[in-house]
C-alpha cells in the first residue's frame, strides 16, 4: 500500500493543478459546486497518488495563464474536469 504524502505539499499540488487547468477552487466553493468535504477529498486523493513526481514535472512545464487539460494520471482529473469553467 502506498503511504499518504505530506498534506501541505499535496494541498499546494491540488492548488497548482487547479490553476494550470483554469479551475478556481475558491470560486467553486463559494458557488456551492465544491464542498469542504470535496476539497478535502481532493487533497487526500492527491496524497495517495503515485504520480506526484510526474505531476510536479508536468506543472513546471505549464505556461502561465494558459488553461491546460489535466493529465489522465492525475487522481483528481474528473473533479477538475467537472469544475472547469465553461469557455
Whether the Cβ atoms of residue 65 and residue 21 lie closer than 8 Å to each other: no
Please give the Cα distance from 61 to 32 (Å, whole number).
31
Is residue 56 over pLDDT 50? yes
Please give the Cα distance from 14 to 27 (Å, whole number).
15
Residue 9 pLDDT level (bands cut at 50, 70, 90): very high
Planar angle of CA 6, 20, 15, nearest 5 degrees: 30
Q: What is the mean pLDDT of the chain?
A: 92
Boundaries of every domain in the chain? 7-79
Quick one: average pLDDT of 76-82?
96
Amino acid at each position: 500500500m502506498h503511504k499518504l504524502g505530506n498534506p501541505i505539499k499535496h494541498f499546494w499540488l491540488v492548488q497548482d493543478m487547479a490553476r494550470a487547468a483554469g479551475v478556481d477552487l475558491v470560486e467553486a466553493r463559494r458557488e456551492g459546486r465544491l464542498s469542504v468535504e470535496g476539497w478535502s477529498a481532493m487533497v487526500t486523493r492527491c496524497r495517495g497518488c503515485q504520480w506526484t513526481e510526474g505531476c510536479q514535472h508536468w506543472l513546471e512545464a505549464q505556461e502561465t495563464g494558459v488553461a491546460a487539460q489535466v493529465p489522465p494520471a492525475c487522481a483528481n482529473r474528473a473533479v477538475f474536469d467537472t469544475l472547469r469553467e465553461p469557455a
